[in-house]
A = this chain, B = another copy of it.
Amino acid sequence: MDIEEVGKKARKAARLLALLDSKAKNRALELMAGSLVKNAETIISENGKDIALAEKNNLTPAMIDRLILNTKRIEDIAEGIRQIISLADPVGKVYDKKVRPNGLKVARVRIPIGVFGIIYESRPNVTADAAALCLKSGNAVILRGGKEAFHSNMAIASALSSSLKEARLPEDAIQFIDTTDRSAVLGMLKMNRYIDIIIPRGGSELIRFVSENSTIPVVKHDAGICSVYIDEGADFEKAKNIAVNSKVQRPGVCNSAETLLVHSAWASNLPKLMEAFEAEGVEIRGCERTVEAYRSATRATDEDWDSEYLALVMAVKMVDSMEEAIDHIENHGSHHTDVIVTESDERAEQFVKAVDSSAVIVNASTRFNDGGQFGLGAEMGISTQKLHCRGPMGLEELTTYKFVATGNGQVRG
């Protein structure tokens, strides 16, 4: 596979995609959803090869489960594409209009970014989700999935690009790198002439590799070391529900909580709260004072404060002030999602101002930092960086803008 050639074709396709109206893109998405269902048998059979390899390589049952595709799961993927059809198309939106004193009309217009490079290790549904989001936002995409889902990804990609042909759109709008060779990734990361943005989705090693080697701007979807801080005077039931939900509702994802910070003036409630965690099977790793107050907790090590467990483990620390909680979040958090539970509007406001995370949430679960929950529709992931977009990366965040100025002969004096 000539990676340079892939890039050239993607750039060419992107120029055509940028000119499409929403109707043409939605029609292609409808065909893509249909094509997945129509090709379900082939996809499931190719998926079988990945599963067999996974079993041979002794992947954990949880990992194998995430790889499995069956009719129901393929229908769910197709349904996900149909939901993207129903979302508003951001491309072409005109905003920030001005008429300058010399009569020049200036505005910004939303346009596709161009060519996406997505490097992922996740479940095979990402192949379809990412391709559909890129197409809807008028972008071409080069996909490079993990080797564990290689056959499944290839089958899905082939079903998708055949429907592009049927929709008379450029087939190269969705290209899949048909090799698991790492040098192909390195090649992608240097193609700043043809790729406009790289999105790595996966473990921290992948994200580090991409950040260090890419000459193309990267939007990272990095680790979530998310905290819940329980303020003095917080309502017990509210605090308990929010803290427990943040940890246990889906512990394996980035917006689940890893750290609980409890104001010492609230600490008489700590044992009862810890029991609620234990009832959900959560292992508690506490600071010295937490362990004193709740003997079933084990003592946390320095590493615990910097850990993204993605499991039923919670690090718990007692603090003597909100400032101490904020400092802990600054020094140990990952600027992803942080929550305060408080009955004081003033203190909520202080916390929101001082904590620099993609989402700061007052009196609700960390799990709400999500494109669907925040009302953005489907998302490409959750950006943990500060430039371009933060938090959920929805359709609008998959676009950029250009300035358009219209005059009648103006020149500069």
Contact = CB atoms under 8 A, between A and B. Distances in A.
Interface of A: 15, 18-19, 98, 100, 104, 106, 109, 111, 113-114, 192, 196-197, 211-212, 215, 217-219, 235, 237-238, 241-242, 245-246, 249-250, 330, 348, 352-354, 356-365, 367-369, 373-375, 385-388, 390-392, 400-412
A271 to B, nearest CB: 21
Output the residue of A354, A359, A392 with the most chain B CB within 10 A.
A359
Given A196-B386, A356-B402, A386-B196, A411 B364 contact: yes
A368 B405 contact: yes
B402 A245 contact: no
A150 B170 CA distance: 53
A358 B19 contact: no
B215 A211 contact: yes
Given A369-B403, A387-B388, 9 more contacts: A113-B386, A237-B409, A238-B408, A249-B412, A250-B412, A359-B402, A361-B407, A364-B411, A368-B412
A409 B341 CA distance: 8
A217 B218 contact: yes
Nearest to A111: B356
Nearest to A14: B356
Contact of A405 (B100, B215, B361, B388): B361
Nearest to A255: B412
A387 B353 contact: no
A375 B106 contact: yes
A192 B363 CA distance: 32
B405 A359 contact: yes
B356 A411 contact: no
14 contacts: A15-B354, A15-B356, A19-B354, A100-B373, A106-B374, A217-B386, A237-B409, A357-B402, A358-B403, A360-B404, A363-B408, A364-B410, A365-B411, A374-B405
Contact of A360 (B114, B245, B359, B402): B402
B409 A363 contact: yes
Contacts of A104: 364, 368, 373
B367 A245 contact: no
A279 to B, nearest CB: 15
Contacts of A100: 373-375
Nearest to A243: B411
A242 B364 CA distance: 57
Contacts of A400: 386-387, 390
Contact of A409 (B238, B390, B401, B408): B238
